[in-house]
Structure 1
Amino acid sequence: MSIASPAGSTTIINPDLTLLIAEDTDLATLLAVASTNKHLHALIHTYEHSIIKSRINAAIPDPSLQPPFGSLLSSNGPTRQILPPWSFQVAAELERRHSRIETMFNNFTAPPTPLISAMYRVPSFAALPPPQFLHLVTMFKQACQLADQISDLALFVKIPVMARDPPPADPYSVQKAIHRTRQAYIKQLSPLELAALTHLAALGGMAYAEEFGEMLGSDPNGLERIVAFKETIFREGSFALWAFLHPEEHKVEEGLTGLGPPSLPPKARSSGLGRYIGRKVEAVLGDIWAYEQGLQELDGVATPLEVDVPDWDKEGARDGMEDDDEDPFVVLHGLHQTVMAAFPKPIQEPEEDDEDDMMGEANSQSEDDYVDYEEGDLSDEDEQTQEEVETYPADPRAEVILEAVRSAIPC
């Protein structure tokens, strides 16, 4: 980096110091500074890979969520491209994803964002005290990063080179290979990661239904579209949530709100990102219909990912959920308990009628029930007594899982 001296000459700052500054500077400022001096331009672009690696390590401390080969799928346009590894484009994409996730889960806006509003419609989530609710929000932000990681796994699938006269091949071989790679990754997730990812898809389904409103209720395929959108979150990552729920990124043009696929909410139909995801949802919906109608073999067209659920969670019972079709928050019992076991159960204040009943019962006790305890020094016992907190009941089959959850998130 160079600075102007009082005498009018230019002084070159130590290159090592310049690189340290580059690692902590936002990308727009860094590129603007590099364009002001040919020495800076050459230095920054020579060490582009090392700068980006340092920025990724700082932005994503969890190594499992970092791009293993330094490349990502772009999400700044109506098509997704493979970005050059360890490039400034990758850094820009990471900043874009982080900004979108923070916006979608901003808990301090009025009115609340679609996903925060969906969280408050889940009784067990809404009952959490504010500090624990913020922990839950952080968990879902990490689930968005996990969904992005699953989406980027498409980069690992190699497209075979076509020969001049190739034999008849399966036209869905690449798509099936991508799905197998993603399914293998999902199966090795920890219980907490699996639970958070499933809850993220459920919240997305609630927000998706809210955006459609009455239109979804009059659609005979409405519920199937919700399922297809949840599946699209696993295939496209947080990009799918952003394109549908925050289409203000693009100017809404009059006359275009009636266009777009049926799976696209009205307010997102003029957005290039929304129309792209809408086509993806329609494609998933077609896969689901074909699979259910038996129009293909089990190993034919790639079937939905279907997040793999452990054997201990096959009952599918819902706990603490409202049976309301307008809020399609459907998760399996064990997965919901895995999340809620990380937080103490809030103590509910008794209502006025309950207080009167309790006082009446206490006054009706006879003197015969009185027990005269002997006096004693209880100071030592008081020091050893800790306040007991009522928690959500743990499933005996998932005791090990719940222990991992409790150690993962501070209460």
Structure 2
Amino acid sequence: MPKPKSNFNMQARTFILSDLPAVDERRKEERVTVDPFFTLPGDGTWNACIGRQGDELHYLDGYIEAAWELADAVLQKNMLGKRDTLVLPILYNARHAVELLLKFVMNQLVRCGALAHGHQANHDLQGHYDLLVSANIGDEKLREGLRLLEPFIASLTRIDEDGQELRYHLNRDGEISLKGESLANIAVIRASLKDLSSIVETLKNRTIDFVDERHGQAYTDRCSRTDLMAITAMLPPLAEWTTDAFTAAKADIKKRFGLGSRHFSEALNVIKANRQMRGMLGEETSLDSLIDAKAVRAIEEWRKLHPPRDPTEEPAVINGADITLKELLEDFRVRREVMSVLDSELTSDDVAELEALYYLGRDDYLPELFDDTVARIKLKQAAEQDLREQIRHLADKTNLLMCLQTGARKAGRLALAKQLEGM
């Protein structure tokens, strides 16, 4: 009886391998030692950052992007023959992205103290989602994001409760995975992935901002800083809080944010103590040292170095070779006079608050951290002992006026912000 053809081929293959010349031993060794996935070529164009050079959010972003790109490619390239195979990784990537999102949001909220505890480490989408919803986090945008996510949680939980059905043909019970389903339309999936991607991005970014906002302590158990800013915008000026306008605003605010009387009062207390929010209500907040007159005087001197220009004109390009010695000497004279005036009129505390206002306007840090920023600048002053250099650093800022205006307004120095207009 003849041997099966497959056995004959196996024997032939063995014979051929055994007869390889010795010169090929080096090539076989190279194939063993070169990593097939993580070898880096000389051209680093397509090198991707992973591990210690990667980022936690690369996982979240990557899985939702992979789901979308794959679904889009199937339709764009008319890959009808690959519908049945690619639909599984498309849905799995989407499910895993949602799982990573829920865990990211939960872990961040636990770390910043907004959530008492997380969920057991497993693949239970519904359990993670229910814990976040039931916590009723004190942030309108987070609650709304979770509400928009609910249909996707319900859909993915229904077909794959534990994260196994989309990965394996047989589930843990030995039954066929997805046995309750027969068809899935990739065009529908792609359209839904577009919505899901937007929800994921919004929730991710809102979580990051929510955690950052809490560094300034301007929040309550029921209202985040963003909520308090929205509430402030709904209130009449502080001087009108005994009028009917305040009573009407109070009712609208309590309804929108689901606040009882105690929570509403707590929100008002934080708002009245906050530089920026108090300013939004028409009330000034003083600085410890820098008076408005000194800040205005500093800008008057700064203007000698940075004259106003026509905003409709393009900035002039100056060729260094065209600058004359006379122009250089004149610039040096003006700069020396400006520095002399600022050095004589501004104290170190004035300069510290001036710098803090500038960076409040430029970098948009939380206004409630203004006093801490001033304190850090003063520590730097004490260490460097070079006030003139600090003044020169500010005087050289071409955007000093614009940033001081913004910073003064955020710090509750409304009169100063007004005076700086048009200078």
Structure showing greater relative contact order (alpha-carbon pairs closer than 8 Å, 6 or more residues apart): 1
**The two structures share one fold, judged by TM-score above 0.5:** no
From the two aligned structures, give the one with the greater helix fraction.
2
